[in-house]
Amino acid sequence: MADRLRALAHLRICDFTGQLAGAGATRWLAAFGAQVIRIEDPTNQGRWDILRGGEPYKDDRRGIEFGGGFQNHNVEKLGITLNLRTERGKDLLRELVRVSDVVTENYAAGVLDRWGFGFEQLKALRDDIIYVSNCGFGQRGPYREFRTWGPIVQACCGLTFASGLPDMESAGWGFSYMDHHGGNFMAVAILAALVHRQRTGEGQWVDMSCTEAGASMLGPVVLDYTVNGRPLRRAGMPSSNRSQFPRMAPHGIYPCAGDDEWLAIAVRDERDWSAVRDTMQLPDRDRFGDEDVLDAEIASWTCSRDKFVVADVLQSRRVPAAAVLKPHERIDDDENTAAWGLWPTVSHREMGEVRVDGVPVHFSETDWRIENGAPCLGQHNDAVFGGLLGLSSDEIDTLRAEGVI
């Protein structure tokens, strides 16, 4: 019985988010049962979210209903269309806000305000409303108007610079890491505000800065500068395959047999080091002082060996080692992710059955559920405008005819 409970089924989210930095936040809420109503602009077919019609495509079918990223990030949500250039559209949004717990968006700063739905207007509609905005530099400060995407956030917060090998340009991140964690920080902001409201009855506006969220994940490096005067921008740094904090050596990613095959090894202490030295028959060296030499010796040992075999050998001696997994290896061939149910299959109205990211946690009593694909454009107009707001089918038809939805 208990596993049928939904953790957040008592909540309704009026959701303007898009891309991953915003959609990722409300994806979490929807997976735990919140009713997330995603609002899209019918006049441009929701194309503000550039992922809506973007690659990858299942069976190479293209169009606004076939974006693979959009589908992944918007599972379990409802989708409606609403033309906020019309007064009737604004009226309907007001009605929706009155019956919602949270309004979410990740537009550039001030967009909702210009539409007449800034926090004060939202609060006038519902006194305990929670409004969470997530924009690149936040809604206050000299850069409030600046526009960002994940890679720009990562560049401006220090994450790009911190990722790379010595004497080379920044490797940065090979994806929008801060879209993922922009969404995760935003989910935390929403949930924390809900807890605050539950305790005090107060709603509030949470102004989240995605760039600050990224910077906050580099704390020890920043303190090393503010306390010790040691910047990361110095000779020989960054060296992010090594481990300065906590200090470990050898610590790196080494070549293995095959095309673009790699193995990660982290030697934490003398016990690990003894096991690695014994396994690879390495000479006894100063593992911190001779790290360059040791890396070369380890690489010459691993380069002719299978990455999974070496990882197993080292793990059998309780040394942290792991193959660098290619997507198919961790999605199709990994026993742990399979047993976790990490890649659920959802049903999408146009795409059919598609596998998506699951949730990397399990709750014993109110676990997540992902079964339904992302909404097609306006897929839930009847359910929301009719079922929730009480409009008749004739009224909804009129809204369609007048371009309001």
Task: Tell me the residue type at 256.
Answer: C
Q: Quick one: 194 or 405, whose CB is closer to other proteins?
A: 194
Decide: 51 and 67 in contact? Cβ < 8 Å. yes
Out of 245, 283, 304, 401, which residue is the one contacting other proteins (CB under 8 A)?
245
Decide: 96 and 14 in contact? Cβ < 8 Å. yes
CB of 88 to other proteins, least distance (A): 28
Which residues ranging from 338 to 357 are in contact with other proteins (CB under 8 A)?
A: 339-340, 342-343, 354-357
Q: Is 90 exposed, middle or buried (0-12, 13-18, 19+ CB in 10 A)?
A: middle
Asked if 235 interacts with other proteins (CB under 8 A), we say no
Q: Quick one: 39 or 153, whose CB is closer to other proteins?
A: 153
Asked if 400 interacts with other proteins (CB under 8 A), we say no
CB of 298 to other proteins, least distance (A): 12
Decide: 102 and 123 in contact? Cβ < 8 Å. no
CB of 17 to other proteins, least distance (A): 15
Asked if 156 interacts with other proteins (CB under 8 A), we say yes
Which residues ranging from 202 to 231 are in contact with other proteins (CB under 8 A)?
A: 202, 204-213, 215-228, 230-231
Decide: 322 and 263 in contact? Cβ < 8 Å. yes
Which residues ranging from 76 to 105 are in contact with other proteins (CB under 8 A)?
A: none
Asked if 309 interacts with other proteins (CB under 8 A), we say no
Give Cα separations from 267 to 287, 297, 307, 331 (angstroms).
9, 15, 17, 27
Out of 94, 268, 369, 400, which residue is the one contacting other proteins (CB under 8 A)?
268
Q: Quick one: 93 or 186, whose CB is closer to other proteins?
A: 186
Q: Which residues contact 28 (CB under 8 A, 6 or more apart)?
A: 183, 184, 187, 359
Asked if 195 interacts with other proteins (CB under 8 A), we say yes
Q: Quick one: 89 or 182, whose CB is closer to other proteins?
A: 182
Q: Which residues contact 365 (CB under 8 A, 6 or more apart)?
A: 2, 3, 5
Stretch binding other proteins (CB under 8 A), from 82-90, 133-141, 278-286, 396-404: 133-141
Neighbours of 104 (CB within 10 A): 27
Distance CA 334, CA 324 (A): 12
Q: Quick one: 79 or 250, whose CB is closer to other proteins?
A: 250
Asked if 320 interacts with other proteins (CB under 8 A), we say yes
Which residues ranging from 2 to 21 are in contact with other proteins (CB under 8 A)?
A: 2, 5, 7-11, 20
Paired strand residues for 40: 81
